[in-house]
Structure 1
Amino acid sequence: MNILNNAVAMMFLSFIIGVFVDLALRRMAIYESISGRFLFADEKTYERFGVALYRKILLATPLRFFNTQIKIPKNRDLQLLKDIRKHIAAAEVSHWVGFVVMMVATIYAWMNFGPKIGLSFVVLNVLGNLYPCMLQQYNKRRLYQLIAAIERRKS
């Protein structure tokens, strides 16, 4: 079996590549700029794309056991929230890298194995990388608002 015509195997490979590239990018000055960006300016746009529904579906599956450190606790400790922000940034950047890797693999698969295989890559890339990126950005925006509110109360 060729990994380049298996969308599921390629998805997992994109996750692994994303994690390692994220670790390398963290050491670079550009990381803060990359992890601080948003795809959409408005929080409602994420909701229109179904990110809230995607989150509910995700939490109803065994996938909820991934990234367990990205849970906002009842205790709203400022340092803990800032640590969660770092985990969100790492997850987001990893998925963006995975998205790019899968896009390249999608083009290759589409050209060499046909539209049926190529379309399976597109679907898995959207569900496995793009929506998790948008979910992390949605959560990150909400977390930034919470951190700002706590910082205003302290000053």
Structure 2
Amino acid sequence: MIKYFTHSLSIAFISWIVGMIINALLIKTTFYEKNLTHLNFIKSKKLNKFLGIGIFKWIVKNTFFKFFNPKLKLKNKVEPAELDHLCNEMTLAEINHLIAFLAVCIYALVLMFKAKFLFALIMMLVNILMNLYPSLLQQENKRRIDVFRKRFKAL
């Protein structure tokens, strides 16, 4: 079981690279601009709270994960152009994680067809924590940035 967990962690990290490569190919397409930049799976704050996005956010902010993407930090004083740049960086990270999530899901399906159910289950749990939750957190943060954008426009 430990072997499955360590393999799943390795696959999750590799999936991040796969996500970045595929996203780099997609970013210049109209499909990316029209369909991927404005994804919003969970709009309800209650559902986000129920899923534990707040706990996940705390973990990211207070552990070594905070060093993974330093571009996603807000300063104390923010200009509207910085919000646009930050939102673009968050969209990039979000899509990277979603592509990585889908890649690992496909791999887990292959494992299921090979009757490696425990390995597939552990891999999906790690995948959810390492790819889906970061993507959902980016979506929540983008919604928070939209609130700031509206405030700047009102001024």
Name the aligned partner's letter for residue 131 of structure 1.
Y
Asked if residue 82 in structure 1 is aligned to residue 84 in structure 2, the reply is yes
Residue 95 of structure 1 corresponds to 97
Rounded to whole Å, the distance in 2 between the matches of 1:152 and 1:44 is 27
Q: String of CA shifts for 1:36-67, please: whole Å, max 9, x gaps.
A: 12002323321221101101012221111011
Rounded to whole Å, the distance in 1 between the matches of 2:44 and 2:32 is 23
Taking a change above 3 Å as real, the CA distance of residues 113 and 15 of structure 1, as seen in their structure-2 partners, is farther
CA contact under 8 A between 1:35 and 1:92: conserved in structure 2? no
Rounded to whole Å, the distance in 2 between the matches of 1:113 and 1:29 is 39
Residue 127 of structure 1 corresponds to 129
Unaligned 5+ residue runs, structure 1?
none
- Per mean C-alpha deviation after superposition, the further-off stretch among 134-143 and 43-52 is 43-52
Residue 27 of structure 2 corresponds to 26
Q: String of CA shifts for 1:82-127, please: whole Å, max 9, x gaps.
A: 1000000000000000010000011112332611211111111110
1:16-55 aligned within 5 A = 16-32=17-33, 33-55=35-57
| Paired positions, count | 149
State the SS of the aligned residue for 1:30: helix
Name the aligned partner's letter for residue 7 of structure 1.
S
Deviation of 1:6 after TM superposition, in Å, equals 2.6
Deviation of 1:23 after TM superposition, in Å, equals 1.1
Residue 64 of structure 1 corresponds to 66
Q: Please give the TM-score of this superposition, normalised by the length of structure 2.
A: 0.90
Name the aligned partner's letter for residue 12 of structure 1.
F
Asked if residue 138 in structure 1 is aligned to residue 136 in structure 2, the reply is no
Identity value in percent: 23
CA contact under 8 A between 1:92 and 1:133: conserved in structure 2? yes
Q: Please give the TM-score of this superposition, normalised by the length of structure 1.
A: 0.90
Name the aligned partner's letter for residue 35 of structure 1.
T
Unaligned 5+ residue runs, structure 2?
1-5
Q: CA RMSD of the aligned region, Å? A: 1.5
